[in-house]
Structure 1
Amino acid sequence: MKAATVQRRQRGQSLVEAVVVIPVFGAVILGILQAVLFYRAKSVVDYAALQAARSGATHFAQMSAMKDGLTRGLLPLYTHEPSNTAAEKAYAKAWLDVTTGASKIQIVNPTQQMFDAWKEPQYDGVEAIPNDSLAFRGNAPKAGVTVQDANLLKIKVRYNYPLMVPVIDRLIGHLDAVRSAATCLEPGGCHSVYSLPIVAQAIVRMQTPIRDRDLLPEGNPGGSGDTGSGGGSDTGGGTGGGDTGGGTGTGGGDTGGGDTGGGDGGGDGGPPPTCPGGA
């Protein structure tokens, strides 16, 4: 009789253990899956930032060209079928995200103070930071940088990556109002989208002179901001200008695209709404 009473008291023990363990174990598995997807997205965003910088380097640091380069670099996150039609749809969706605030491109170097210190009239009378014969222009600094460092284009890209794993997206992400509103236009109906920001940096040497001062950020010449390997960690060991106007780069080396980085860009005007050439 006593043994039967003890046995009845132990009924449901496994159920209680399962109720405690399964949610925790399931959350860990889902978290690992989301971490793998996030790491892949970080690699793509690093590459896209480099593509944006290369496009800016060959198109006078125009923001429209850098947005087009960023869109092309982000295509692996939007393309899921090996066809021209899928590539065009992916380009259109990526371009929409780039232009509606899901990603942001910020020029870090050069600054307006560097432009004012180094600007020279070009053949057409427009003032720009000289970009030719840099090896023969000396290394005397102005506004805390040499003309070689003033020709290093450093950008910072912030991309809001939409989390895909359920439960985890609500635990670690932030509600993405723009993408959530866009889901109402899709066949599945409205649903909430949660995202997490990814930040990447890239540095390349300008292949064209910077002609528009308004494209550049303000900075304090001679400041004590971050210098040296400012963008190296995110783009593979780059060295160059720091995060503030006064920071001078060490080594002046180029990263990624190097001196011949010819990224595709949309020119000074806006890029086309569809992927050119079905790429």
Structure 2
Amino acid sequence: MIRHPTNRSQRGQGLVEAVIVIPVFGVLLLGIFQGVLLYRAKATLDYAALMAARSGATHFAQPGPMLDGLARGLMPLYSHQTGGTTLIAAYAKAKADLQLAQAASIHIASPTRAAFNDFQQPEFDGVKAIPNDSLPFRGSHIGPQSHLTVQDANLLKIRVTYQYPLIVPIIDRLIGHLDLARTAAAGHKVYSLGIQAQATVYMQTPIRDPKLLPTGTGTGGNGNAGGGNNKPGAPQGSGNTAPPPAPPPSGSGGSTPPTGCTPSAGICCIT
């Protein structure tokens, strides 16, 4: 009788497969769990950035009120319960984390110092500021340095970067960086991952301190780097430069139309 050693040679096959598959699927499941937490943190940060921008819009774009608004928006990440004392504790934790651990930074993207130089006017107390009142009646003059209108210069655009602490083991070391400030405060290694959010609101108060604004030129209201009045088809960065007049039609005797005329359209604007 011939014996086949098939069953004997396959002993331990399931153990070998488990040793290979379990670590892979374990890391995958941990990554999915951390991804869900990151999605929640990003949604919370989007709301917190809007709160920070609104606080800055009503407080002359000062960093202190914007930091307070950011802390209020991030409270859901520091508390899992509701109630008066719980909310107060969550706000205190968020504010301490932002200030002591430097867990977030707020960068003003627009307006810039160039916009301040273009539109600054003395206020009632003599302090120069970007005017914020009667904007619909101030015209659409393009600033020579910022390439913005005064209406665009009153748009507060901020970018918030938040160092989100990772809590899922293994994944935190794979995608995060060692957060030295939080590590010193917690007494154990804490890994964080930077996430960003942006917000844009209209200023409700005039911007009075140009030191708070970044250097460089601004961006027009339609997103073109050359200014807010670029027409479709015009070269980028042309600002308000008018296109060259069209050549006279054939048979016109070589007469040159006045400046600003468009013979093909039959329209002539004389200034």
Which residue is equivalent to 1:112? 113
- Structure 1 residue 80: Cα displacement: 1.3
CA contact (8 A) 1:156 1:200 kept: yes
- Of 192, 195, 208, which residue of structure 2 is paired with 1:195? 192
Which residue is equivalent to 2:206? 209
Which residue is equivalent to 1:25? 25
- Of 131, 153, 157, which residue of structure 2 is paired with 1:154? 157
TM-score, normalised to structure 1's length? 0.76
Which residue is equivalent to 1:60? 60
How many Å separate the matches in 1 of 2:2 and 2:211? 87
The Cα offsets for residues 189-245 of structure 1, whole Å up to 9 and x where unpaired, read as: xx2111111111000000000001111111136xxxxx56xxxxxxxxxxx486x9x
Amino acid at match of 2:169: P
Correspondence 1:91-170 to 2 at 5 A: 91-99=91-99, 100-142=101-143, 143=145, 144-170=147-173
5+ long unaligned stretches in structure 1: 185-190, 222-226, 229-239, 251-279
How many Å separate the matches in 2 of 1:109 and 1:217? 8
5+ long unaligned stretches in structure 2: 230-271
Assess, with a 3 A threshold, how the Cα gap between structure 1 residues 247 and 50 changes in structure 2: closer, same or farther.
farther
User: Which structure's relative contact order is higher, taking Cα pairs within 8 Å and 6+ residues apart?
Assistant: 1
TM-score, normalised to structure 2's length? 0.79
CA contact (8 A) 1:149 1:248 kept: no
Name the count of aligned residue pairs: 227
- Structure 1 residue 177: Cα displacement: 1.0
- Structure 1 residue 7: Cα displacement: 2.6
Q: Whose radius of gyration is greater, 1 or 2? A: 2
Assess, with a 3 A threshold, how the Cα gap between structure 1 residues 153 and 2 changes in structure 2: closer, same or farther.
farther
Which residue is equivalent to 1:224? none
Amino acid at match of 2:142: P
Residue 204 of structure 1 aligns to a residue whose secondary structure is: strand
Q: Does 2:221 correspond to 1:218? A: no
CA contact (8 A) 1:48 1:73 kept: yes
Correspondence 1:191-270 to 2 at 5 A: 191-220=188-217, 227=219, 240=221, 248=227
Provide the identity percentage. 61
RMSD of equivalent CA atoms: 2.1
